[in-house]
């Protein structure tokens, strides 16, 4: 019964993500959660029935579900108003630095910080590089995505970084925001935002689109001439080239047929870097891997330069 929920076509998820202004992963995770709930409960709630019975209404239904709370969702759903204790409980199960108890000063401070995150107040006092998250209310789904990616980087030998000591000892408050940027310049001050928008980087990463990877590196150097990529940064660009390739392949119908050059890797790389630099004053390798780039920023840039067909 649960499998019937997956009536959203995979190639429609980026469109839905753009409309919702959330990541494709969050939508996919939500669909999986729905399937699990139906299987476990043995019944279908009003929202799941709509997903199953009315495919043409799927976009509207999921948008309403993901962008505002609803009383029709099962009581254990993370779509409901979240409890900061659930955030901390999830963190403590991931093999990261655990809390010693609910009555400690650290626990109470973390609970207050997460409450601020839920209310959309946490990043309001942070720098302009986090202006996209001013007044942004984060959910338990967002937390699960970001912390699970951190846990892979911190505990799984198949993923970067090589030295995981720092990440394993990282306290929750510094994961949310580190005023002194001890986590490194590549992620600025918030590992929470970094991992929310970037997938973990595998160590043994195959480069199926090497020409596109080389073009992205070449275009990147035009913006940072002194940049000499490390091995980890090269793997970030390799992973980004896969995302870039799939974005253009999956969206050819949206791109003007008169834009013949866009089939070439150098042109795709140029467009991607132009989209990033138009949106942001600075640039970092992980920007090229961001979910937001491929679901929101890049389509908006293509529309702005007149070659995106809705």
pLDDT tens digits, 93-140: 999 999 999 999 999 999 999 999 999 999 999 888 788 899 999 999
308 pairs with which residues across the strands?
A: 255
Distance of CA 75 to the CA centre of its chain: 25
- Listed as ranges, residues in the chain with pLDDT below 70 are 1-81, 181-188
> Which residue shows structure tokens 């050059």?
261
- Say yes or no: 105 and 175 in one domain: yes
Q: Does residue 309 fall inside a structural domain?
A: no
Give the pLDDT confidence score for residue 181 in this predicted structure. Answer: 64
Q: Does residue 54 fall inside a structural domain?
A: yes
- Say yes or no: 88 and 186 in one domain: yes
Q: Does residue 204 fall inside a structural domain?
A: no
- Say yes or no: 114 and 182 in one domain: yes
- Say yes or no: 92 and 193 in one domain: yes
Give the pLDDT confidence score for residue 206 in this predicted structure. Answer: 80
Give the pLDDT confidence score for residue 291 in this predicted structure. Answer: 87
Give the domain extent around 136.
84-197
- Say yes or no: 91 and 182 in one domain: yes
Q: Does residue 25 fall inside a structural domain?
A: yes
Distances from the Cα of 221 to the Cα of 213, 215, 227, 229, 274, angstroms: 13, 10, 6, 10, 13
- Say yes or no: 43 and 122 in one domain: no
- Say yes or no: 175 and 219 in one domain: no
Contacts of residue 296, Cβ cutoff 8 Å, sequence gap at least 6 = 17, 18, 21
- Give the chain's radius of gyration (CA, Å): 20
Give the C-alpha separation, 219 to 138, whole Å.
34
Give the C-alpha separation, 198 to 60, whole Å.
27
Question: What is the 3 state secondary structure string of 9-56?
Answer: CHHHHHHHHHHHCCCHHHHHHHHHHHHHHHHHHCCCCHHHHHHHHCHH
255 pairs with which residues across the strands?
A: 308
- Say yes or no: 98 and 127 in one domain: yes
Residue 57 in contact with residue 50, Cβ under 8 Å?
yes
Q: Does residue 13 fall inside a structural domain?
A: yes
- Say yes or no: 93 and 149 in one domain: yes
Angle CA 101–76–92, to nearest 5: 25
- Say yes or no: 62 and 99 in one domain: no
- Say yes or no: 56 and 102 in one domain: no
Count of domains in the chain?
3
Residue 48 in contact with residue 42, Cβ under 8 Å?
no
> What is the number of other CB atoms lying within 10 angstroms of the CB of residue 189?
21
Q: Does residue 41 fall inside a structural domain?
A: yes
Give the pLDDT confidence score for residue 54 in this predicted structure. Answer: 36
Give the pLDDT confidence score for residue 57 in this predicted structure. Answer: 42
Q: Does residue 79 fall inside a structural domain?
A: no
Q: Does residue 203 fall inside a structural domain?
A: no
Local structure of 162: helix, strand or coil: coil
pTM of the model: 0.54
Give the pLDDT confidence score for residue 75 in this predicted structure. Answer: 39
Here the tokens at position 191 are: 């590992």
Give the pLDDT confidence score for residue 259 in this predicted structure. Answer: 85
């Amino acid at each position: 019964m649960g499998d019937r929920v997956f009536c959203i076509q995979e190639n429609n998820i980026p469109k839905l993500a753009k409309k919702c202004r959330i990541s494709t992963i969050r939508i996919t995770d939500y669909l999986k959660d729905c399937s699990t709930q139906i299987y476990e409960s043995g019944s279908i709630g009003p929202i799941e029935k709509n997903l199953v019975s009315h495919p043409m209404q799927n976009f509207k239904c999921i948008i309403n579900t993901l962008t505002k709370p609803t009383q029709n969702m099962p009581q254990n759903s993370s779509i409901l108003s979240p409890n900061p204790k659930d955030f901390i409980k999830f963190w403590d199960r991931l093999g990261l630095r655990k809390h010693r108890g609910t009555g400690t000063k650290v626990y109470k401070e973390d609970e207050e910080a997460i409450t601020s995150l839920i209310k959309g107040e946490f990043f309001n006092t942070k720098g302009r590089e986090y202006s996209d998250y001013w007044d942004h209310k984060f959910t338990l789904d967002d937390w699960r995505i970001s912390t699970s990616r951190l846990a892979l980087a911190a505990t799984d030998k198949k993923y970067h970084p090589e030295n995981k000591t720092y990440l394993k000892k990282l306290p929750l408050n510094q994961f949310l925001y580190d005023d002194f940027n001890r986590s490194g310049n590549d992620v600025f001050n918030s590992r929470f935002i970094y991992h929310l928008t970037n997938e973990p980087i595998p160590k043994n990463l195959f480069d199926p689109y090497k020409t596109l990877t080389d073009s992205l590196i070449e275009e990147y150097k035009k913006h940072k001439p002194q940049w000499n990529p490390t091995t980890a940064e090269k793997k970030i660009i390799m992973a980004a080239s896969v995302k870039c390739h799939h974005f253009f392949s999956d969206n050819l119908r949206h791109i003007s047929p008169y834009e013949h050059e866009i089939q070439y890797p150098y042109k795709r790389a140029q467009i991607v870097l132009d989209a990033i630099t138009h949106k942001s004053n600075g640039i970092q390798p992980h920007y090229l891997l961001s979910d937001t780039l491929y679901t929101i920023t890049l389509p908006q840039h293509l529309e702005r330069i007149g070659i995106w067909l809705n």
